[in-house]
Structures are given as C-alpha cells and as structure tokens.
Amino acid sequence: MPNQAPTQASPPRALRWAVAGSVIVMIAAGGLFYYASKMAAAKRQANHDEVLVTIHPHSCEPNALTVPAGRASFRIVNRSDRAVEWEILDGVLVVEERENIAPGLSQVINANLLPGDYAITCGLLSNPRGTLHVTPTAASDAAARAKPSMVAFVGPLSEFRVYLSSQGTALINAVSALDHAIETGDLGQAQALYVPARVAYQRLAPAAQRLAELDNAINARADYFEKREQDPAFTGFHRLEYALFQQRNLDGLAPVAQRLLADAASLKQQLLAQSLPPEQLVSSVVRNLNSLADVRASSGEEERYSHTDLNGFAGNLDAAHKVVELLRPLLAKSAADLLPKIDHALTAFDAELKGFKVNDGYASYDSVSTEQRQQIAGKAKVLAAALDGIDPALGLSGL
C-alpha cells in the first residue's frame, strides 16, 4: 500500500487572527507615520520664515537681528540648563516676550513690528542684550498712512490713566503696610499683607509688564538670576515671598521691602508718564492672559513659595474687566457681535476662579489639581482669544 503524505494541520484560528491583526497594525502605523511626516513637512514649510535664536547659558546666537516690518516669527531654542525668557524691547517697553522656555525645548514668538530699532534680552537678566533692526516695507508705510482717527480713543485712554493712578496708589499703600510689618518684625502680619500687595500689583501687571527694567526689579522670579535665590540682584516681591513663606525669617529683609516700596512709587510715576497707544491697551492684557494660561496656571511657578497664585489671577481678571468696560461703547458701535463672545469668556473665567473662593481670598494653589489648573488655563486662553479680536474690530490691527 503506497505511503500517504502526512496531512498538514491548518494553523489555529487564533493564530490566523493574530497574524492578520499584526498586518493591520503595521499598515496603520505606516499610515500614521506617513501622516505625521506630511504634517511635520507642512509645519516646516509654514515656518520657513522663522528667525532662529539659540539661548546659551551666557549668550544668544545670533544676538543682532534684522527683519522686515510686519509680522515676524522667532523660534527661541533654549540650550541652557534652566527655564529662561526672551523679550523684544522698545526702549524700556516690552513689545513681545516668551517666558519659561524649558531647557532643551523651543517656543515661537510672533510679533507685529513697526520699523525701528529694538533691544532683545537673552535668558538670564545678567546676560548681554542684543539688537533687532526692523526695516520699513511698502505695507508698513501704507499702514502708517491708514491709521484710524485717535479721537474716539481719547476717552478710554484717559480713563485708563485714572485707573492706573488709583491702582498705583493702592499698590504703594499695600506695599507700605507690608514694609511696616517687616520692619517691626511681625512675620505673621507680613505674610498676611503679602497677598493684598500682590493683588494690587497684578491689577497693574498688564501695563507694568511693558516696563522691562522696573518689572524685573519688582516681579522677576529667582530662575532669571545666575545664583537664583542667593543672587544679590534677586529683589522684589518674590524675594520677599521666599523669605516670608520658605525661610520664614525676616533677617535682612527690611532693605528689600524698602526698595520694593520705592519701585512701586516709580512704577506709578512711569506708568503715568508713558504714552499708551490705543493698540497697546488690549494687547497688554492679551499678553498677560496668555502668560497666565501658558505658564503660570499650569506650573504654579509664579507664587511657588506662598501658593497664592489664584489671588493674582483674580487681579489680572480685574484688569481685563476694566479694559472691556472702557472700550464697550466703541465695541457696541463697531463690533456688537464680538461683545457677547467677550462677555461670555469674562463670565466663564470669573466663575472658574470663584469656585476656589475661601472667605475673602482663594484656596492655596498647591491644593488645585492638575485637571483644575488646565481648566483655569483654558478659560484664560479663551478670554485672551476673544479680547484679541478687539483691535481688528476697531481698526487698530497692523499698527
């Protein structure tokens, strides 16, 4: 009887499904890789005009830039060992900035620049500044000729100066009380008075952050100094905060408080002395809210020793409310459809913060969960985007 070839058993069904599943996964992965590659290529194409700036521990490369007027994008790459910031300055005024650029990462700064010469900062406050030369273009010349009449903005700008004056006085009074508590050696009272002083500053912050040197003296965090908390140049609110809440020690703190009081007085004086173009009224608030959303809300870095961040966020929201209130009559005429969007965003952010109210203040920020911080950041971001529509609606964009 002839030998019969052995019958091959068919592979188990589970094995067939496993092989088929692997093939599907490989195809899907290939598709995702192709899609990601196309997206990355599109992003590179869209950003081909970015100006690349690399921050090293003690220098920037390059530190002298030339760009045409109009919208410019700067990709700032941090090659130092700490989080840093990069700013564009017009004299003492901050035109645009990006804070808390993490080591090894990069961020993009978009700026709408008028022709002229600017300074640029480079990471640590002790690092040498660079230069930015902006050349005129046909578009910038046309935009200068097409500026809208400033008559309509005289009232809002005058009222905003009154706001700056009253809030500047409130800041001086609050810092004076804090200074007195430190001078008399009352740690508990000084800790309590730190919060209202910070809130008073945060109501001014959108305008104050335009004054680079003074804002750094008043508000710079330890990260931006070479020796951090031990750096002699580290002064202002956060130096007091570090001593009051981390060290819990008032030794040697009186001169720091006295300098802060002098800087608060100078801040009020300089805010009232500086002219405020109408396009800066909203953009400074938008920049402040974007910083809140992108850096301060998620990290808790702003008040890292006292965890009083929420009080400051409420102060920033007060400033946003004020600007909208001043521009409401103009918006009602020129952008009535934008007002509901702005009011909704204001109400939503206000409601979010009120959820953390505790007596006359707010909960400690270290008790706020990651998810809650993301919600706060999201509400601030939506508000910033809504306010960002004001300048185009009023004919101020591109100035």
pLDDT given at position 220 = 93
Which CATH architecture fits 277-399?
Up-down Bundle (1.20)
pLDDT tens digit string along 329-343? Answer: 999 988 889 999 999
Domain 51-138 has CATH 2.60.40.420: yes
| Nearest Cα to Cα of residue 179 among 232, 250, 246, 266 | 250
pLDDT given at position 396 = 83
pLDDT tens digit string along 195-229? Answer: 999 999 999 999 999 998 999 999 999 999 999 99
Mean pLDDT (the chain, rounded): 87
What's the pLDDT band for 140 if we cut at 50, 70, 90?
confident
CATH 2.60.40.420 location in the chain: 51-138
CATH 1.20.1420.20 location in the chain: 152-273, 277-399
Mean pLDDT of 308-324: 97
pLDDT given at position 7 = 45
Both structure tokens of 242: 């570090």
pLDDT given at position 149 = 62
Question: Which of 217-253 are b and which e, b meaning 16 or more Cβ less than 10 Å from the residue's Cβ?
Answer: bbbbbbbbbeeebebeebbbbbbbbbbbbeeeebeeb
Alpha helices, DSSP H, located in 47-122: none
Give the homologous superfamily in CATH for domain 152-273.
M75 peptidase, HXXE motif (1.20.1420.20)
Query: CA-based Rg of the chain, rounded to a whole angstrom?
Result: 26
Check pLDDT > 90 for residue 256. Answer: yes
**Type and span of the H or E element at 119:** strand 116-120
